[in-house]
Amino acid sequence: MKQAIAIAACSLFCFTSGLYLGVQKANDRVAELGEQYKKTDDKVAVFTDLNNPKTIQSYVTQLRQILDDITFLSKLIESGQIADEALAQMKKDIDAKLNRMVTIDEFASSVNLTQSRMAAIGVDLDDLYDITEDIDDKADKSDKKINKQLDTIQKELDEVKDLLKTFNKKKFFHTHK
């Protein structure tokens, strides 16, 4: 009788211990699956956001604005080069006229005209220099902005690739036969 009670107590203890360990492992597995589900859900949300036409349209709009800015800057630089060439030609013409001067009055008049033109050219060159600096600053900012956006897009694409690899490696749906 004592042996039967001891066996029953031992069996009950083993059953209870086994049940407890089984419930603990099940709880751990449920927590692990919950974390995996949360990660997958976050990745799917990022993927959904990337596939949102409004997000894509926003990126395209920003890229078009950047391209418009670059085109504008290119035109400004080109016009600055044209102005520089025109100023160089004016200087050659002025030098040629100075060499041909005969009288002191013509020379003085020519010097005054040249000085006023040179002052105007100096102002124009200062303005062109300021515009060029502004263009360089805007170009640098645009480059940084484009690079940052491209990095963000690349990161998001990498996350999507990783998510797709995960989907291919794991079974998320189980069918019963």
- DSSP for the chain, written as a single string: -HHHHHHHHHHHHHHHHHHHHHHHHHHHHHHHHHHHHHHHHHHHHHHHHHT-HHHHHHHHHHHHHHHHHHHHHHHHHHHHHHHHHHHHHHHHHHHHHHHH--SHHHHHHHHHHHHHHHHHHHHHHHHHHHHHHHHHHHHHHHHHHHHHHHHHHHHHHHHHHHHHHHHHHS-------
Q: Is the pLDDT of residue 176 over 70?
A: no
More confident residue, 144 or 86: 144
pLDDT of residue 48: 76
pLDDT of residue 148: 92
pTM greater than the 0.75 cutoff: no
